[in-house]
A and B are shown apart, each in its own frame.
Chain A
Amino acid sequence: MQKRNKNALITTSDEERQNNSTVQARREKEQAGMEASMATASDGSISANSKESASKRAQTLPGTAEQSKEPAEPKEMVTLQIDGITVEVEKGLSLLEAARNIGINIPSLCYLKDINEIGACRVCLVEIEGQRTLQASCVYPSVDGLIVRTNTARVRKARKRTVELLLSNHHRECTTCNRNLNCELQNVADDLAIRDIEPTGEVRRYEIHDNNPAIQRDYNKCIHCRRCEAICSKMQQCHVYSAQNRGFETVIAPAFMRDLGEVACIMCGQCVIACPVGSLTDKESMSPIWEILEDPRNHVVVQTAPSIQVTLGEEFGLPVGTVVTGKMVTALRRLGFDQVFATDFAADLTIMEEAHEFIGRFEEGRLPFLTSCCPGWIKFCEHFYPQFIPNLSTCKSPMSMFGALTRFYHGKKRDIDPERLFSVAIMPCTAKKYEAARPEHSDGKRPHIDYVLTTRELAMMIRQAGIDFAKLPDSEYDSPLGEYTGAGTIFGATGGVMEAALRTAYWAMTGGKKVENSPQEEVREQTVEFREIRGQSGLKISKVRLGDHEIKVAVAHGTGNARQILEAIIAGEKIDYVEIMACPGGCVGGGGQPVLGGRDHRKISLDYRHNRSDALYNIDYSKKLRNSHENATIQNLYKTYLDHPGSEKAHKVLHTAYRARNRWS
């Protein structure tokens, strides 16, 4: 503790401090294997321990992170009765949460904890003594002495009626829906045993909106829960969606019902994750990939983003946070990909370039330096903060570096017919589909990356192929672009890019000498760890000593938090290096990741991000090499092809440019 103080590290919340100080615990956890890291079991039950941390986590959701710094006041407790059970809860807790705490699962659709608590869908109705009408339990606060009934004929009838009404105006073609068997509306209809829809009537029909590379909006399936609107406005603060028109004609849509490609949408896909039904989905790319895989003359290269290996398992019923790297590689081979590489490799390469670029900018005083690997953040910056474009790192994202390398390096080296060389990326992200389509990442005729699949789409392909994922044997990535260090892997979690860059920058600025008795946070087998910038606090600010310099770094995830840090910088806050990820939690919480709510409505929360990122850090621990500069393939790549970080060649292949965009398109 004293050592830490000596380094004048300004830390975030107490919770973070606690997490950080439990190295011993972490080591034990490691020994116990992966299983131990899964706080949320697959049945959704929460142990006494993790329940506490879950409630703490709720306070540190993006947007509320700052508040958690204040010392918590003791909460006033109230006693109420739910279905005859006396419960003591925090005053003001919603009745829905109070009931779920004691094992009464009130169905809900529009409710999204901390994000969307508006009582709009009227599915979570309950009877409260003394109230004339039924009340939405998701917004009704607990007060002393309430007598609540959640399972009466009156309640069941009203809930059923509400869901029937929703279904009467829903494009009910479940079997062909992207969210079939993973749909909250299906679940609720099933839970309420709806067998008949009476009365039926007009069903609104709209054309499908998908005039963009990433996200498809099907208004015919929209149930007006407004979760997309809430997540976009409150968490991401892009304010793309709002209610328009009235009555039966109401739609939740971008202004003038424009396509997402025609407004200031950053394509992050958080709305896709939030959507309880199939109204917001990926713009699917599976069919053309099947086609190119079918032809044996094609050489199809696939790269997988670091976070895919810790989330793909969820699609096959494995606990959140299970690491499935080996199974994933096997599955990709079985699908017919010729070479399976890791984007983690390109992440290491990104670090070499970015750390070099940062040191240069630091010396020039051209700060703050902003990371550039997240396409949602880049688009956000271009739309809302174009004045920061000169501060952005010019490094392409790892995916796009990989795409360029595949074409210019791998293809040529292996002498593959460019026409027959296809490049596919598996990404946790809808914005990556958009990034791949940006003209900067093409040779004018063809994009460097031909197709981007989300984690969800990959899972669908695996299911389509009839592969029993859980039973797959492990296999290794292909060489050489499949070799990576732990630094590349933690790119998938918030703070990971920063930490990876700092590890290498530290090495560079301290002259590469072996770290002994390090003044830094934690030293483990010659790797400097920067724990202050890990974790799920929305905004993490820290000071780091690199050789003779002390730099101030900030990590923000969720563009709402990005706004906060940028506004602070505009207001005069001096920060040297900022990592921004558009999605809460970083890529582990990406808009292309598995949607859990439909399969288990108890998982409609953002808590699962913790388990996913824990898994990434566990991979990092288990890696022999944990610093990007130690990656031998990268060293070789510079030697044989790129010269040195920041070289002319590197700039041509690995760097890009940005442009300001207005708020309307």
Chain B
Amino acid sequence: MTLQKIQSLEDLNSIKEKTMPYLSLRLGAFGDDRTSQEKAEALASSPYNHSIMVCAGTGCLSSNSQKVKEQLLEEINKRHLADKVEIVKTGCFGFCELGPVVVIHPGAYFYCRIQPEDVQDIFDNHIEKGQAVQRLLYKNPTTHEITETMDENKFFHPQTRIALRNCGIINPEKMDEYIARDGYRALAKVLMEMTPSEVVKTVRDSELRGRGGAGFLTGRKWAFTAAVKQDYKYVVCNADEGDPGAFMDRSILEGDPHAVLEAMAIAGYAVGASEGYIYVRAEYPIAVARLEKAIEEATQKGLLGENILGSGFNFTVEIRLGAGAFVCGEETALLRSVTGQRGEPRSRPPYPAVQGLWDKPTLLNNVETYANIPQIILQGPQWYASIGTEGSKGTKIFSLAGKINNTGLIEVPMGTTLRTIVYEIGGGIPQGKSFKAIQTGGPSGGCLPAEHLDKPIDYESLTEIGSMMGSGGLIVMDESDCMVDIARFYLEFTQDESCGKCTPCRIGTKRLLEIVNRITEGNGKLEDLEILEELGHDIQEASLCGLGQTAPNPVLSTLHYFREEFITHIQDKRCPAGVCKALSRHEIDQEKCISCSICTKHCPVKAISGERKVKPFLIDPDICTNCGICVEKCPPKAILRR
């Protein structure tokens, strides 16, 4: 790695030229559209025969991909293959559930759940003999069909990766690899060819909308901030990803940190700021470490700091760690937190574009929004605006979680239907259960029933049906999920995370939670449903910030779409999904029971009475804690929860 400063486009070109051969094998990862001749040339130019990509995102690292990587290196040394095979630590592929993920190029063979002991097998067969190791490849959980390459995999096939374009391809800790993927070229372009207002116009024309939640037009935000006449301005990146289950921002920061830095510098140039802050959760240590490294390298090489690329433009970036308060994702609370105060929102106007960090005009966008910027600059706003729907352009990253076969991170064009996401990319619902609802938008969003599966997802359509885009969390629920319990879960979350500043959120969400709790405990009244709706509506109207204004959404949308389930809880004192402990119990089907007494042995609280070979076996509901162990252990599946 040279420490020579990059001073011109030529410098960028020469780095790209030097580094490109190393990347040539890896480009087959996501939708390779090169001709076969180009592929052959790339293969020839590559210094290696194989590139082995090991995911180093948080998900795969916690399932021990580091050990796998070490084992791979050891194997290479043992077999003296160091000049033929490279091991690349890369960003998230998105298929986090199947980690550690290892992808072998050429061919983009997709191996999942690789353990250190599998490494030898991979070398023996795949590397040495060119035979993919079938048992380690992706297997469709429903059809049990094996898919060898990423190209054939339905999880990857419908995706369009713009914000995630480098994740899984480059080593995020090597800036040269980012540059080889046209990194910092957009910055060079704006500094050398464009005026700040042209940059703002480009972003505006792309019709990119904020990916953090509310979907405000990014270009308008840039234009507002640029228009304010002030001697000092700031650019801030919101990396305080807080929705439960959402991790797209983390994956971008871990897999492609330079994209965010480049975009922030572009933003700084466009609005007239020379100082940037990234507010990132302290719970993202890997993202923070990669960002630190990226800032250091970019600064050393002159792509951050003073007089960037000889343009006279200065831009520095600093990291601020957040302590994990959900409300700090709200822009005014975030800015307060950056300055070291308690994260509490304030009312707007004045907007941060006028009065933000240290009361100076501040441009604030989230990670995913920034990650789109370099490509918009390079490929043009029209290209970007050609993707997506009428009101929502481009792509959106979603994190798929819950009762779905393929959980993980995906990037699809706006307007993709929920059905495509759930059944095609997500591979449907596990264990043959039926789809019940999909929760979008995290604690600010709502739960949508099957009738909306064919809705194309964009900002407007989701709001229309009582939910919202939010940061892109999608949680799938099946018949075993209780919607009252789901409403309770999200209310508990917002009540915990309310900053306590304004009355409706501090006390109102508490009252909502108390009522829903009552219902799950069998103490609800029918009037409670009206109170929930009325109070929920008032909280939406009266709260100070977005957290409070959207906090009632989960309960209101479940009430709207699953009202019967609430009524069953109240009138029949029954939880149909068998989730609410007070309203459901375990029973033994005497017809099926074979009196084996296995259940009594496993019951941790000794709630089951009965003697082996002598019927009946009975569960004492007063002792039973509904842990469900007996259900799992019962050989004839005679124990049911109802």
On A, residues with C-beta under 8 Å from B are 118-123, 125, 133-136, 139-141, 154, 157-158, 161-162, 165-166, 168-169, 198-199, 201-202, 223-224, 226, 242-243, 245-250
Contacts and interface: CB of A to CB of B under 8 A. Distances in A.
Contact of B503 (A165, A245, A249): A165
Contacts of B510: 169, 201-202, 247-248
Contacts of B514: 199, 201-202
B106 interface: no
A133 B546 CA distance: 10
Contacts of A123: 503
17 contacts: A122-B503, A122-B542, A122-B544, A136-B347, A139-B346, A154-B541, A158-B541, A161-B538, A162-B504, A162-B542, A165-B504, A199-B511, A224-B501, A246-B497, A247-B495, A247-B497, A247-B506
Interface string B142-180: 000000000000000000000000000000000000000
A290 B365 CA distance: 65
A158 B274 CA distance: 43
B498 interface: yes
Contacts of A169: 507, 510
Contact of A119 (B347, B509, B538): B347
B498 A166 contact: no
Contact of B538 (A158, A245, A250): A158
B500 A125 contact: no
Nearest to A109: B503
Among A134, A169, A248, chain B packs the most CB atoms within 10 A around the CB of A248
B346 A118 contact: yes
User: Which of A122, A123, A154, A242 is packed against the most chain B CB atoms within 10 Å?
Assistant: A122
Contacts of A245: 500
A119 B344 CA distance: 12
A201 B502 CA distance: 18
A131 to B, nearest CB: 11
A121 B503 contact: yes
B541 A166 contact: no
B508 A141 contact: no
> In terms of DSSP, what is the predominant structure of the interface of chain A?
loop
A70 B543 CA distance: 39
Contacts of B499: 243, 246, 250
A22 to B, nearest CB: 38
Given A122-B543, A136-B544, A243 B538 contact: no
A247 B542 contact: no
Contacts of B500: 224, 243, 245-250
Contacts of B501: 118, 120, 224, 226, 243, 250
B440 interface: no
**B interface secondary structure, majority:** helix
Contacts of A168: 507, 511
When A and B form their complex, which 7 residue pairs have the shortest distance between CB atoms, in order from nearest? A250-B500, A165-B507, A247-B498, A119-B347, A248-B510, A161-B538, A201-B514
Contacts of B543: 122, 133
A535 B350 CA distance: 34
B511 A134 contact: no
B531 interface: yes
A165 B511 contact: yes
B312 interface: no
B342 interface: yes
Contacts of A201: 510-511, 514
A508 to B, nearest CB: 50
Contacts of A141: 349-350
A165 B325 CA distance: 24
Interface of B: 325, 342, 344, 346-347, 349-350, 495-504, 506-511, 514-515, 531, 535, 538, 540-544, 549
Contacts of B342: 242-243
Contacts of A134: 541-542
A199 B517 CA distance: 14
Contacts of A157: 538
A199 B502 contact: no
Contacts of A119: 346-347, 502, 544
A123 B542 CA distance: 9
Contact of B502 (A121, A154, A198, A242): A121
A335 to B, nearest CB: 41
Contact of B507 (A133, A158, A166): A166
Nearest to B515: A199
A247 B506 CA distance: 5
A157 B350 CA distance: 27
A71 to B, nearest CB: 22
A125 to B, nearest CB: 6
Nearest to B510: A248
Contact of A248 (B504, B507, B538): B507
B511 A133 contact: no
Nearest to B496: A247
Contacts of A135: 347
A211 B501 CA distance: 27
A224 B502 CA distance: 8
B348 to A, nearest CB: 9
B347 A248 contact: no
A264 B524 CA distance: 48
A139 B350 CA distance: 10
A246 B325 contact: yes
B503 A166 contact: yes
Contacts of B515: 199
Contact of B344 (A136, A154, A166, A243): A243
B495 A248 contact: yes
A250 B347 contact: no
Contacts of A136: 347, 544
B261 to A, nearest CB: 32
A134 B538 CA distance: 10
Given A166-B503, A246-B498, 20 more contacts: A118-B501, A120-B501, A122-B502, A133-B541, A133-B543, A134-B541, A135-B347, A158-B538, A158-B541, A161-B508, A162-B538, A162-B542, A165-B503, A201-B511, A247-B495, A247-B500, A247-B509, A248-B507, A249-B500, A250-B499
Contacts of B325: 246
A129 to B, nearest CB: 15
A166 B549 CA distance: 18
Contact of A139 (B347, B495, B531): B347
A120 B544 contact: yes
A141 B350 CA distance: 9
B76 to A, nearest CB: 50
Contacts of A161: 504, 508, 535, 538, 542
Contacts of B509: 247
A120 B502 contact: yes
Nearest to A160: B538
B503 A224 contact: yes
Nearest to B327: A246
A127 to B, nearest CB: 10
A154 to B, nearest CB: 7
B324 to A, nearest CB: 11
Contacts of B541: 125, 133-134, 154, 158
* Most chain B beta-carbon contacts within 10 A, residue among A120, A224, A245, A246: A246
Contacts of A243: 342, 344, 499-501
A224 B504 CA distance: 12
B352 to A, nearest CB: 15
Nearest to A123: B503
A153 to B, nearest CB: 12
Given A199-B535, A247-B495, A158 B506 contact: no
A166 B516 CA distance: 20
A242 B508 CA distance: 22
A139 B501 CA distance: 14
A199 B531 CA distance: 8
Contacts of B542: 122, 125, 133-134, 158, 161-162
Most buried by A among B497, B502, B507, B538: B507
A393 B542 CA distance: 53
Nearest to A247: B498
Contacts of B535: 161, 199
